[in-house]
Amino acid sequence: TNCFLSMINFFRKIRKKLADDNQFFKYARYAIGEVVLVVVGILIALQINNWNENRQIQNQVNLQLKNLKTAIQSDIESHDRVLGMEGFRFHAIRYILETAGETVRLYHYQYDEFPNQPRVLWNKPIPEGWDRAYFEACFSAIDLSTVGSFINDKAIIEFGNSGLFSALYNPELKSIINEYYLNAEMWFSGALWDNNLEITMKTKDLLENQHQIDLRRMSDVEDPIRLIRENKLIIIRLHTLLDKVSLTCETLVNSRKRAEQVILAIDQELEQ
């Protein structure tokens, strides 16, 4: 404000001097100059006010983006925890089937990104061939608690409800964020995890109730490979469970990559 008043006073002095040089047009020129000065001052003031408002809005948008980044980082941590369990389940079931002489059907999945080293069930190097202890650990993995990963959507909901998401001027970033949460809604709604749990429980029930096999005590079974080979229903259930677990792992891997892309895009936006 002081700067604006000083500027007006400066122009008034110049205008007054010019008007004094010609007394006939003195008042007319002074009046016209006064009007022009006021108009220019109003325009400058409006521009400064708009700039301040836009800066405040941008600061609020940036704060929402930082909150969103934190939420998506928590999604990645959740994915990693579940992928650690489901990844080992995939490799364990595959090992059981292949040891029993079964050909495992593979899809165009990123199997090399499915982790295969849980600390709870097996903390030694993964054997390349037959290993009775590892085989028993793999059976225990069938019964790992199937819990779904979660998407922390509180930040994106707050972003939308605040009206600030519409103030985000970067269309590419908007598109990446929307795509991430649309995919999350599709894959993490609960159906995927419920189906996995159902297949797991059916497999466990088949082994325990129909064949009296405790998944945690496979050491009691004299020849577990023969048992599997002679029971086609067990093989079918294991194949079905393997398909479900592999889909879960692939979903987690892809969602994690999308999350990393969103975080990278947010960082680039905040650096501008």
The tens digit of pLDDT for each residue in 151-204 reads 888 999 999 999 889 888 899 999 999 999 998 887 776 666 677 777 788 887
How far from 47 is each of 2, 60, 126, 140, 272, CA to CA, in Å? 16, 20, 67, 69, 22
Q: Which residues contact 33 (CB under 8 A, 6 or more apart)?
A: 11, 12, 15, 19
Per-residue pLDDT of the chain (272 residues; tens, 9 = 90+): 555 555 556 556 655 555 555 554 555 565 666 667 777 777 787 777 777 777 888 889 999 999 999 999 999 998 898 888 889 999 999 999 999 999 998 899 999 999 987 667 888 888 888 888 898 888 888 876 556 677 888 999 999 999 889 888 899 999 999 999 998 887 776 666 677 777 788 887 877 777 777 777 777 777 888 888 888 888 998 999 999 899 989 999 999 999 999 999 999 999 88
- pLDDT for position 24: 45
Does an H or E element contain 14, and which? helix 2-20
Alpha-helix runs per DSSP H in 106-223: 132-142, 154-161, 171-187, 191-205
Structure tokens at 70: 């934190």
Rounded distance between C-alpha atoms, residue 219 and residue 187, angstroms: 37
What is this structure's pTM?
0.77
Q: How many CA atoms lie within 13 A of 163 on its CB side?
A: 1
How far from 125 is each of 86, 94, 119, 190, CA to CA, in Å? 18, 17, 11, 34
Structure tokens at 12: 């008034």
Other beta carbons within 10 angstroms of residue 208's beta carbon come to: 13
